[in-house]
A and B are shown apart, each in its own frame.
Chain A
Amino acid sequence: MEEKQIIENFLATRTEEAFCALFEAVCLRLRRYFLLRGLDAATAEDLTQNVFVKVYRQAGELREADHFYGWLFAIVRHEMVSYWRREQTRVEEVGLESLGDWLEDGLMAEPEVMPALRLTDWLKALEPAERDLVVLRFVEGLSYEELAVALKLPLGTIKWRVFNVRKKLARVISASPAGRARHRIN
């Protein structure tokens, strides 16, 4: 079944079976978003699960499959922001105490190795909001209309921001070894 059909089926029936199919179709994209936003694999999976709990419970709010990805990534971004707020609070509470059990456990856990990606280097040169735009547009392939829904901004603002982030990255990329090599070839 195609992705669009899976989404339409879930929105129309909202059965657990349709939800399972939706999860299989979309889960990878959400986890990837969180990883590219700098989270470790365990946290990315944890937040992905939280998002799907919300999708399951709030699917009644959405009727049109065309708006699904905008709606979905609005939830994803909200989850990301909530996570950073919780982390900020925790960092402030923990202060300079010695390593707690939770942190020692984290250090002992074997982390999943993130593959070396050009994109992760480039994203470091951007502000968080700009990273969102790049990941959602150039990795997840969201349309400008979907981006407007996900980021809750007017369409013109989205295009203007994409243009500016592209301009910023053009400088970063042309200064990178790959960019210089491409320039020489051209």
Chain B
Amino acid sequence: MKHGIAELEWNDYLDGRATDEVRDRIEAHLIGCLECWEFYEQMSGATQELLEAGEEARQGLTLEDRQLHAMLRGVFARLGTTEAGAAAPSCVQGQLNLLETVLAPFCGTQAAVSALHAAAENSPAHSLDRVTPDNWEPFLKKLTAIAAAMCGETFAGLVWESGQF
């Protein structure tokens, strides 16, 4: 403790989390103590720089979707074939559900389900329950083509974007 201010009190004050009593005491002291004022200036400046540098790191270190999905596949591979086998369809199921929610408002639920089945049957999966991450892309291309025929190119683009893993 220096000049009656404990380190934890300084820390809370710099974070803007000090109690009213502590904040008032520190601020009253800072008015009359040049040494503590300089210390505060240096510490608050460093805190600000650290927060900005943290933001810079968050902006600078990003990850492309391609890398993200490759890593996810790697995780399932490490979880073992049994778990991975079970996991992959669930991820696919989530994407299929999403596509159905995209399609349904434009063409109705029945037509949306039919479009999904038609795309699967005309892709290497041959049926909707056999669509996997490995044969997802040709399936999605077929579905996009069907969506274009049903509702136009703009809507097809939305389907294509929504279907990306």
Q: Show the binding face of A for B, using Cβ within 8 Å.
A: 15-17, 19-21, 23-24, 27-28, 31-32, 35-36, 45, 48-50, 52-53, 56-57, 115, 117-119, 122, 134, 138-139, 141, 156, 159-160, 162-164, 166-167, 169-170, 173-174, 178-179, 182-183, 186
Are A182's CB and B62's CB within 8 A?
no
With A31-B61, A36-B61, A170-B46 given, name 15 new contacts (CB 8 A): A16-B91, A20-B72, A20-B87, A32-B61, A115-B61, A118-B56, A119-B56, A138-B50, A138-B51, A159-B8, A163-B7, A166-B47, A170-B43, A174-B42, A186-B41
B residues 85-100 in Cβ contact with A at 8 Å: 86-88, 90-91, 93-94
Q: A163 contacts which of B10, B71, B78 (Cβ < 8 Å)?
A: B10
Are B57's CB and A20's CB within 8 A?
no
Are A23's CB and B45's CB within 8 A?
no
Are B58's CB and A32's CB within 8 A?
yes
B residues 60-109 in Cβ contact with A at 8 Å: 60-63, 67-68, 71-72, 74-75, 78-79, 83, 86-88, 90-91, 93-94
Are A117's CB and B56's CB within 8 A?
yes
The docked-state distance in angstroms from the alpha carbon of A169 to that of B46 is: 7
Are A17's CB and B91's CB within 8 A?
yes
The docked-state distance in angstroms from the alpha carbon of A36 to that of B61 is: 9
CB-CB < 8 A to A48: which residues of B? 71
CB-CB < 8 A to A19: which residues of B? 87
Interface residue B152 (Cβ < 8 Å from any Cβ of A): no
A122 and B42 contact, Cβ closer than 8 Å, known pairs A49-B78, A166-B47? no
Q: Within the complex, what minimum Cβ distance (angstroms) separates B134 from chain A?
A: 16
A122 and B63 contact, Cβ closer than 8 Å, known pairs A52-B75, A170-B42, A173-B45? no
CB-CB < 8 A to B19: which residues of A? none
Q: Within the complex, what minimum Cβ distance (angstroms) separates B105 from chain A?
A: 19
The docked-state distance in angstroms from the alpha carbon of A28 to that of B51 is: 19
Are B45's CB and A170's CB within 8 A?
yes
Determine the residue in chain B with the shortest Cβ distance to A24: B68
10 CB < 8 A contacts A-B: A17-B90, A17-B93, A20-B94, A32-B57, A32-B58, A45-B74, A49-B71, A138-B50, A166-B47, A186-B41
